[in-house]
Structure 1
C-alpha cells in the first residue's frame, strides 16, 4: 500500500504546534520563576523582620528622660559592658568564620582531587621472609629473629617523636597565648575604657546615646556574622556528605586472605623458577609387586571319579614317575 500524502498545510500546522508548545513551556518557566522570586522576596522579608526583632529585643530603645547624673553614669557603664560582651562574641564568631572558610576551601579541594583521581592505587607485592615461610610450612610458632639494630632504630624514632611532640605542645601554648593577647588588644581598641568623672547631665546623655548606637551596630555585625557561621556550617555538612558519597562510589572491595600452598612456598624458598610445585612422588622408586599364584578350586567328586579304577591307578603311577 502506498503511504497517504500529507496535505500542503501540514508543515505549517506542525510549526504552529511546536511554536505554541514552546510558548507554553516558556510561560510555565516564567510562572515558576515569578513564583520563585516571590518566595525568595518573602523569605528575605521574613529574615529581615526576624533580624530586627532579635536586635530590638537585645538592644531596646533608650529612655533618658528624668534620669539623674548618677543613673546616667550607671547606664553608661551598663552599655559599655554590653558592648564589651557583644564585641567579645563578635570576635569569636569572626575567628570561627575564618576557620570555617579554610575548612570549606580544603573540603572543596579534596572533592576536586577525588573527582580527578578515581583510579585505584596499585597494590604492591609484599615479599615474605624465609622464617615466616618456614614457619607456615612447618606450622610451628617460630619466634622471629631479634633484630637489635631495628630495636635501636625504633627507640631513636620514639625519642625523636617525643621531642617533636614536646616542641609542638610548646608552640601550641605560645600560639594560644599570642591569640589571647591579640584578642584582648583588639577588644580594648574597639571598646576603650569610660571616663565619666566631671561630665554634666547633657554630656552623659550624649555619651549614653553614642554607646547605645555603638551597641546597636556591634550587635548587628554580631548577628550577621552568626548567620554566616550557620551558613558555613551547613555548607561544611553538605561537603562532608558529598565526600562520603564519593568514597562510597569508589569504595574498594575487601581483599580476601589467600593461603599460599606448601609447594609454592617451597618453590619461593628454593628459588626454583622453572617448577612451581615439587613432586615428591616422582623421586620414589617404583617397586613391582609379585603376583601370588592362586590354586584353582576344583570339584573333589570329579577327582575321586577320575582316580578310581584301573585308569585312576595308571594316572597316579604316571604322576609318581
Structure 2
C-alpha cells in the first residue's frame, strides 16, 4: 500500500460547509470558526464565495471575511463563479480563487443553465484576468464520477473539462465526488488515468460521505498518488443542486485516519476536535 509521507488537508467548512444553511450565520461566528481552524494549524482554507447575495445570502459578507483572513495571515480560497465575482475578489486581495464546472452536461444545465463547453468558454476571460493579477487558480471539476441527472460520468467527460483547465493554466484541479456516489475502485481508476494523462498537474480529491465511503475513497485516491484532500470540519455542507447528497468528508475523520497511517499534516488533531461542537452549532442540519 502506498502511504504518502505528507498529506495536505484543505479545510472547506467556512464556505462549502456553511453556504447553504437556511438560517443566517453571523460574520463574527464565521470569523471565530476561521480563527479556531487557523489555530489548529490550517494555513489554507476555502472561506467564502463572491456570489450575489440574492442567490447565496450566507456569503453576503465575503469582502469582510476575506479581509479578516488576510489579517490572520492565512491563505484563503474564494469561489468566483463569474468575472464580476472575480473582480470583487481581486479588489478584496484574495490570494486564491476557485472556479467550477461539472463534468456532466446535464448537471451544468440544471445548475447554471449552460453546457460544459459554454462553461469553459466563460472561464477564458476569468483565467486571463486572474493570471494577470498573479492569483492562484483552483479549478473544480464537479460531478466527476457520478451524476444524479445522468448516472455514470465517463472519463472522456472529465477529460474534456480537464483539458480545458490545463490549457487555461489552472494551478490545481480539484476532482469532486459531488453527490457522494463514487466507490474506491472507480476513484482509483479515475485518478490513475488522470495522473497518467496530466503528469504535471496537481490534483486534489473532494469527497462527500453520502454512502459512508469518503474515507475509503481517500485511501483509493492515495494509491493513485493523490496527496491533497478537501474536508469540512464537523462534516458540514452538501450540494444544493445534487438531490440526496449529504455533507462533506469530516475533517476530524480524515485527520484521524491519515495520522494513524503515519502521514504528516500541519494540523493538530487535539485542537481540531475542540472546534467540532462549535462548528456543528452553526448548522441547522446537524
TM-score normalized by the length of structure 2: 0.15
The structure whose RCO (Cα within 8 Å, separation 6+) is larger is 1
More helix by share: 1
TM-score normalized by the length of structure 1: 0.14
Larger radius of gyration: 1
